[in-house]
Amino acid sequence: MIREKLAHILLALAASAVTLTAHAESGWNQLNMTQGVTHISREIYHLHMKIFWICVAIGVVVFAVMIWSIVNYRRSKGAVPDVTLVHNTRVEFIWTIVPVFILVAMAVPAARTLIEIEDTSKTELTIKVTGFQWGWQYDYLDDGVMYYSRLDHRSDAARELLSGIDPESVEHYLLNVDHPFVVPVDTKVRLLVTGADVIHSWWVPAFGVKKDAIPGFVNEAWFKIDKDKPGLYRGQCAELCGRDHGFMPIVVDARSKEDFAAWLKQTAAAQKQAAAPATPAAAPVPTAATEEKAPWPKS
């Protein structure tokens, strides 16, 4: 048993040594936050970079003094300690006050961006997002469209314990869903985020939006995708929500306003029709059959 496991580990190590060299260009450059495709996400990115560079500057100064001391004040080089140097009011005052000013310089732009983020007025479209164990439900409140979005089948098969399917062979492994969340670009979309069972968190890095989905509470969030940036944007649940927390991605399909309107109309009609027949319980979720001719793109 132990030997079997050990062999397994060695095999895994060997296999990954191969992938390590094979995929040199894919992962190594994943180093920083995305700038995203909304005004807010760019603001956040710039804020992040600004604070980062301030920290780097402080770090360079502080570490330089430390390294200078380590290099120059060595006993092995005959350094004699200046034991009278135990206190200096002026220096201590300076290094207490200067950081305060630096912090204010960081806090002002941060507060400005935060106020902008919290402004949920003048939204043009409201969609309710409900996290559940384990997937997302999207509810277009004004248009009677509702559907569920879960991990796609290929990822779902590959992610089974010892599935034998190489994740590298699955396109957008763990970041793909059956029904992407369709939204229009250039529209201030308001999300009403809630949870059905436990707390989840709806996160799409490209929008700079992360909001907890809490049962019994409705949180607000919004995004407005750049007009020239339709496309697919991926994210994941960001709050531990049980066994399959790692397997409830979010895929947003951002379409032009016209395409979105057309999709909404078609889907609303399809769902109404699906709901009409004798079995009302047969849900508004499109079945595999409807999926074929489908409003949802092959993502």
Q: Is 82 in the site for another protein (CB under 8 A)?
A: yes
Among positions 126-185, residues that touch another protein (CB under 8 A) are 158-163, 165-168, 172-175
Q: Is 121 in the site for another protein (CB under 8 A)?
A: no
Q: 10 Å Cβ neighbour count for 62?
A: 11
Read off the amino acid at residue 6: L
Minimum distance from residue 37 beta carbon to another protein (Å): 14
Min separation Cβ 128 and another protein, Å: 15
Site membership for another protein, residue 205 (CB under 8 A): yes
Q: What is the DSSP letter of 141?
A: T
CA dist 41 → 74, 129, 204 (Å): 48, 20, 10
Residue 256: CB minimum distance to another protein, A: 26
Is position 12 an interface residue for another protein (rule: CB under 8 A)?
yes
Query: Which span (47-55, 255-263, 267-275, 285-293) binds another protein, by CB under 8 A?
Result: 47-55
Q: Taking the mean position of all CA atoms in its chain, how far away is CA 109?
A: 22
- What residues between 259 and 298 interact with another protein by CB under 8 A? none
**Sheet arrangement for strand 249-255:** 181-184, 249-255, 231-237, 200-204, 209-213
Query: What is the amino acid identity at position 115?
Result: I
Report, in Å, the least distance between residue 7 CB and another protein: 12
Question: Can you tell me which of 39, 42, 117, 123 binds another protein, judged by CB under 8 A?
Answer: 117
Contact with another protein (CB under 8 A) among 10, 60, 65, 141: 65
CA proximity to 197, closest of 217, 209, 180, 215: 215
CB of 175 to another protein, least distance (A): 5
Interface residue with another protein, options 7, 27, 265, 272 (CB under 8 A) = 27
Integer CA distances (angstroms), 68 to 57, 60, 65, 98, 285, in order: 16, 12, 5, 22, 66
Please state the closest distance from residue 276 (CB atom) to another protein, in A: 32
Residue spans of beta strands (DSSP E) within 174-242: 181-184, 189-195, 200-204, 209-213, 219-223, 231-237
Q: Could you say which of 60, 153, 217, 287 contacts another protein (CB under 8 A)?
A: 217
